[in-house]
Chain A
Amino acid sequence: MPAVSKGDGMRGLAVFISDIRNCKSKEAEIKRINKELANIRSKFKGDKALDGYSKKKYVCKLLFIFLLGHDIDFGHMEAVNLLSSNKYTEKQIGYLFISVLVNSNSELIRLINNAIKNDLSSRNPTFMCLALHCIANVGSREMAEAFASEIPRILVAGDTMDSVKQSAALCLLRLYKTSPDLVLMGEWTSRVVHLLNDQHMGVVTAAISLITCLSQKNPDEFKTCVSLAVSRLSRIVSSASTDLQDYTYYFVPAPWLSCKLLRLLQCYPPPEDGAVKGRLVECLETILNKAQEPPKSKKVQHSNAKNAILFEAISLIIHYDSEPNLLVRACNQLGQFLQHRETNLRYLALESMCTLASSEFSHEAVKTHIETVINALKTERDVSVRQRAADLLYAMCDRSNAKQIVAEMLSYLETADYSIREEMVLKVAILAEKYAVDYSWYVDTILNLIRIAGDYVSEEVWYRVIQIVINRDDVQGYAAKTVFEALQAPACHENMVKVGGYILGEFGNLIAGDPRSSPLVQFNLLHSKFHLCSVPTRALLLSAYIKFINLFPETKATIQEVLRCDSQIRNSDVELQQRAVEYLKLSSIASTDVLATVLEEMPPFPERESSILAKLKKKKGPGAVSVTELEDSKREGGELNGGGDRGPDTSAMSASNASTPSPSADLLGIRSSAPAGTAPASAGNLLVDVFSEAGPAAPSAAVNDDGFLRFVCKNNGVLFENQLLQIGIKSEYRQNLGRMYLFYGNKTSVQFASFTTSVSCPGELQSQLNVQTKQVEPLVEGGAQIQQVLNIECLTDFSDAPLLNIKFRYGGALQNLTLKLPVTINKFFQPTEMSSHDFFQRWKQLSQPQQEAQKIFKANHSMDTEVLKAKLLGLGTALLDNVDPNPENYVCAGVIQTKGQQVGCLLRLEPNAQAQMYRLTLRCSKDSVSRRLCELLAEQF
């Protein structure tokens, strides 16, 4: 029994905790916990009313068990009871349990809210704080509904204690974040803003979080906070380190409040009022000056707090981006930190400098630190610091230093940590392209990339180099020569083979004059890699070969022989076999002219944003994006980046290309429609796909309801499938609620871009069915499957079906698909068992003509009893035996649960096996339901 228990220590709890700690194994622990759970359960269930103390102790034990990671399914009620205890510690434990364990949709929420309401109006500040903490901790919509109007009052009331004000401010912030629509500040706005002037620093510290959040959302209404914030900041900055008593933290006056004030100011542009602005600039200068003063303490807490303010001030300076003097000073300060002995400071300096690099005023100043940053990249022990250094090099790169930075990054790549290699590769590829003065340097760089880090070179990168080579005829010869040389290496990366195959297939003729790289030598070189490559690469090589036949008729015989050999023409891979067969045929029957047209050089690609950049943006958080965007906007003045300086002839070519499919894709059209796999025939498509955002937009497809009726009697299966996409469904329903999982499978090997789905309820369905879902990720990788969950609530009975619209880009073209979602009224059935007597009594009760719906129809499917039974069970009703006097007939009963009402339904299905006909009769307490069920079911049998 340890003597660590403090305060009102609950002995039983301490004993239990030490028991658990003494358990030698997980099993023993579980056993001990189960024993305890049984004990607590019996105590709670026992006849003897438990006193408050015992209740508190047991609730606390339950909490401990839950926090150990075990499920707790009782005790909530006892915890709620504790809330209304007038003993503080019991109430406190009650609230703690509720905060940790009660989720927002708990049925107990009304009881909890009641207890909270009592405590809020108790005028006892400790109770009020407990209640406010609980609201802030749970922060559910129900609580917002109950208290959002009450809390602002508490916050600004003159007689509210400071501690309560603090809790109220943050509680309100929490509710505002969950339910902004319910928190109406209107009349309170100015009084809340004036909390910035409150005498109590704690109140200001709490209130400013609220004010900052509100200012971000409604900057105009809260504008007045700027001048108040500046004067408060100015008072803190100029105060001596002892003035603020306990709000001075290790000799730094009010670091938390200072940072919050600086952060609040970042919601606004620089103050327009000259005096306010002057005062603020003074503050910022003082903060920068203080950084140069000797530290008042050697403790790391002192320097952390001081530098926290400094970094926040620098953020504000960067945000304003209008004071060259301050920007340069900030940059110099960060420069000092780059060599600081504290790793944390070096890390933050690198990170902060990234944003400074994008300001025109400080870009040059940042560049002066290039050597230090390169050194950091090479020598930092911590990979996350190296990562920041790489980011900064990327951000400070421009035409003047691109060659140096790219070279450094390349050499770092050789030893770089695996975790950052892919990103480094993307960055190098982007910089090389963006700042390429001569494209031979670009080609060299990318080929080096593939050589050094081939595994991390994503498709985007090698597609891009091919695109650029194809679009720029000044570099084609050089590219052909370089890849030819690179392929000489005894072991080269498969990506190199891909690039090599593609480029030699297009431009091999440009180096064929040299006997050392004669057509046959080129071919033999490529073919020597063939057998080591994967299927997609081999497919690409086969296309390179057929292109060779066109470029160099003298290789025809050799290549035909290769194509003809069994390992090609009888290859077990369908794609390879088909290519071999078709290419062989093409080369033997087509005339030279036809061959030349079919195998013409690839037309230039339409220019668009580099997909590599897009990929990098996706990889990095929003922070990094803003950096690259800034750079993008900076470079408008005509970087050498394809787009700007494309000649008229190429644009004409790409225009004609847009209207007709690319020649090779057309003829090699192995599969006429999209699923292109990895073929070079489709490599054309792939490239177009990867680089294009705007393809020809497919007209909105008509609603597809093929799958719809198949799901009336079942919940899981494949709803839709075409060559590109498969959509699977799993669904479950309970009462009037349902959950549907949609699985979107990309059947191709190519990524779907801009993948969006939306669910809509047309017409009056909107008021009948509530369907909610979250947006899915916009990219679906080739072969990948993503999942989407729909939450469905049936408000009242309905006849229409919700529509699912899917849009994505594949092969440059927008795919647009609308499907009927199989949410049908019968999904909300609860089966009802009843006797024959009851059934017919109810049947008679539902005798009004409009309550009945009947249909006689021909059997479309097997009339086998078991099949029929399975379908009727799948319908969701209870299948009643021994009810109908005729044993051949089927009768079912169920209740449809909607939010508003329950609809009783009876069903009778009378098969006539001889005539292969059915008669279906439905009687429901609501006539629209009878009709709808009848329509749905008539298609099922």
Chain B
Amino acid sequence: MMRFLLLFSRQGKLRLQKWFTPIPEREKKKIIREMTTMVLARQPRSCNFLHWKDLKIIYKRYASLYFCLAIENHENELLALEVIHRYVELLDKYFGNVCELDIIFNFEKAYFILDEFLLGGEIQETSKQIVNRCIESSDMLQETMEEYMSKPAF
């Protein structure tokens, strides 16, 4: 199974963290620090896999963002790379040309999309169409524009 997924910028700013097993907050912060330093220190065109403790770290850079996925030892590295890629595609499809800002300002959406794609550290649905349909239909469930406009602004 997958253990965690981190998204961080080239400056090491964390943009998304998803933990598939319960981990104490302090431990999480430590792991985040370790991952960012480890991955950011890698030379370009190195291989995308690292051994870390008893896990494999699979990372890939998309524009300004690093996606860093930790999987258990027997899991398939290449497929993990494609898990990352599929997630990027899903974000891209939803936001349309996704960029780092989209994920910052709509972080909750990024989590919702992830929950449709991965659950409990395993793949739930690999079909791009189905995941997107799911997210779009949940967007349809939100308030009407009229309701929205009548809300206090701040």
Contacts and interface: CB of A to CB of B under 8 A. Distances in A.
Given A104-B22, A382-B47, A301 B123 contact: no
B108 interface: yes
Interface in B1-35: 1, 14, 17, 21-22, 29
Contact of B124 (A4, A87, A202, A384): A202
B126 to A, nearest CB: 5
A638 interface: no
Q: Which of B1, B51, B121, B127 has the most chain A CB within a 10 Å cutoff?
A: B127
A259 B49 CA distance: 19
A622 B139 CA distance: 46
Q: Which of B120, B128, B141 has the most chain A CB within a 10 Å cutoff?
A: B120
Contact of B120 (A12, A174, A255): A174
A921 interface: no
B142 to A, nearest CB: 4
Given A4-B102, A382-B46, A621-B73, A166 B151 contact: no
Interface residues of A, number: 80
B46 A384 contact: yes
A126 interface: yes
Interface in A160-184: 163, 166-167, 170-171, 173-174, 177
A4 B98 CA distance: 10
A515 B58 CA distance: 62
Given A54-B152, A88-B141, A136-B120, A307 B78 contact: yes
Q: Which of A8, A11, A621 has the most chain B CB within a 10 Å cutoff?
A: A8
A5 B130 CA distance: 23
B64 interface: no
A133 interface: yes
A256 B79 contact: yes
A381 to B, nearest CB: 7
Contact of A126 (B102, B106, B137, B148): B137
A249 B82 contact: yes
Given A7-B109, A96-B111, A247 B119 contact: no
Nearest to A134: B115
A268 to B, nearest CB: 15
A255 B82 contact: yes
B70 to A, nearest CB: 14
Interface range, B side: 35 or more
A2 interface: yes
A104 B1 CA distance: 21
Nearest to A71: B25
Interface string B80-92: 0110011000000
A51 B102 CA distance: 27
A126 B22 contact: no
Contacts of B49: 344, 347-348, 384
A206 B123 contact: yes
Nearest to A305: B82
Interface in B131-151: 134, 137-139, 141-143, 147-148, 151
A18 B105 CA distance: 8
Q: Which of A21, A63, A170 has the most chain B CB within a 10 Å cutoff?
A: A170
B105 A4 contact: yes
B106 A5 contact: yes
B119 A621 contact: no
A209 interface: yes
Contact of A2 (B48, B94, B105): B105
Q: Considering the complex of A and B, which 9 residue pairs feature the smallest CB-CB distances, nearest first?
A: A88-B141, A174-B120, A308-B78, A8-B142, A209-B122, A246-B127, A343-B47, A136-B120, A308-B79
8 contacts: A4-B105, A6-B102, A12-B154, A103-B22, A139-B21, A209-B122, A263-B76, A308-B77
Given A64-B107, A202-B127, 8 more contacts: A2-B105, A69-B29, A103-B22, A206-B119, A209-B1, A308-B78, A346-B47, A623-B73
Interface of B: 1, 14, 17, 21-22, 29, 43, 45-51, 54, 73-74, 76-79, 81-82, 85-86, 94-95, 101-102, 104-109, 111-112, 115, 119-130, 134, 137-139, 141-143, 147-148, 151-154
Interface of A: 2, 4-9, 11-12, 14-15, 17-18, 21, 53-54, 60, 63-64, 67, 69, 87-89, 92-93, 96, 100, 103-104, 126, 132-133, 136-140, 163, 166-167, 170-171, 173-174, 177, 201-202, 205-206, 209, 246-247, 249, 254-257, 259-260, 263, 301, 304-305, 307-308, 311-312, 343-344, 346-348, 381-382, 384-385, 621-623
